[in-house]
Every structure is written in C-alpha cells, then in structure tokens.
Amino acid sequence: MAGKTTITIDGPGGSGKSTVARRLASSLGFAFLDSGAIYRAATWFALDRGLELTDTALVLQAMDGLNMHFEQTPAGMSVFVNLVDVTGQIRTREVSNSIFHLANSGEVRDRLIGYQQAFAEEADLVAEGRDMGSVVFPDAPLKFYLMASLEVRAGRRQRELDQADEAIDFEAIKEEIRIRDERDSNREVAPLCKPEGAVIIDSSNLDIQQVIEAMNGEARSRGLV
C-alpha cells in the first residue's frame, strides 16, 4: 500500500492494550506506539523534579527541558528521558495514580501529541491509548476499542505489580482502576470513549492470542496488510 497505515487500539486501563498492540504490531511488521508510556514519562519527569502537577504553567516550562527518546525492542518500547532509560520507573503505582494531572491539561496534551503523531510519519503503526482513534489519529483506517471487566483488569494489574515487587491489595487496585476509569471518561479534554467506527472487542474471556487473531483478521479483511 502507498503511504503509512495506522491502526489504533483504545480502551480503559488493564484491558490489555499494550500487550495486544505490541504483539499485533510484531505480527503485522508494524511499529508499536505505547502512548501511555509518553504520558508516564512526562509524569515521571515532573515528579522527579518535585513539581506541583496541578501547576500547568510550571510543568510546561519544565517540559522545555524534556527530551524523550523511544526505541523499539523485542520486549516492547523502551523509553528514555534525557538519555536515561526510565522504562521500568514509569510503571510505578505513584506514576499511574498521578498521570491524570497531565492528561487533564489540554496544553500538555497538545505538547505530547506531537511525539505521538511523529511516529505515524515514519512507519506503519499500531498505536494504543485512550484517545488514539478519537483524537490523535481520527482518520486511522482501522480502529479498535478493547475492553474487559473491572475484575479482570484489576487482576491483570495486580500481576503486573507483583512482578515489579510492588504487592498491593486486590480491592485497592480495583478501586484505583475504577477511579481512573471515571476520571478518564469524564475529563473535559479528550475523554476516554469508543472512537467512531471502532471495532469493539471484549477481552474478559479471551486470551491474548484470540484477541490478536481477531484484530489480524479485521486488518486483512480490509486490505491493510
């Protein structure tokens, strides 16, 4: 096909977007964009400097000194902030619970969208996030909305934290995800929603391979690969 193709995967936290998007990209020979990692990196950057995240002007001023770099690896997208690999550090509970401060700011989002859209100019892309199909890549030829029950998503997040030696009570994790869902869905700027024309997939009772096969089939039926 002429030009670059972008496939978007939106959905709430814990629905499996990152894992599915990474593996789908690999199976299609596309690049992978974890948009959440960009917001996590910016949040980590602000927290590391002790900034008040509600002070948008101060955060934007500090971001003038923010240099993000991303590398595609077999394990996913490695994230570098000012040449420091922060791939692991941006996945902490503190960062997860603080992202909304930056995500709720239209000015910050405008600044970070540039990083995301630059990917689509360089390669065929699978982009995952909460506003990929609705805001960042509204003209993408194929959009997915990946969802799962709150119980399933909390279980996935708990396993992720356990692997990072950050053991947290299941009910506490579930409540944090519920609150984040509410924030993401009700924020004034680029709220979480099902993008127009998106193919909806509920992964609650599907394994990763089944989800990828469904997405692969949709991409091939549309002649995108």
Question: Does CATH number 3.40.50.1100 belong to domain 6-213?
Answer: no
Q: Which amino acid is present at 180?
A: R
Strands 31-34 and 6-10: unpaired
pLDDT for 1 equals 40
Mapped onto helix, strand or coil, the DSSP state of residue 86 is: coil
Q: Which amino acid is present at 48?
A: D
pLDDT for 2 equals 44
Q: How close are the terminal C-alpha atoms of the chain, in Å?
A: 8
Cα 179 to Cα 175: distance, rounded to the nearest angstrom: 6
pLDDT for 3 equals 61
pTM over 0.75: yes
How far is residue 188 CA from its own chain's centroid?
19
Cα 97 to Cα 43: distance, rounded to the nearest angstrom: 10
Q: Which amino acid is present at 114?
A: G
pLDDT for 43 equals 97
Half-sphere exposure of 11 (CA within 13 A, CB side): 30
pLDDT for 27 equals 93
Low-confidence ranges of the chain (pLDDT < 70): 1-3
pLDDT for 208 equals 93
Cα 219 to Cα 26: distance, rounded to the nearest angstrom: 14
Nearest Cα to 20, choosing from 201, 196, 177? 201
Domain boundaries, the chain: 6-213
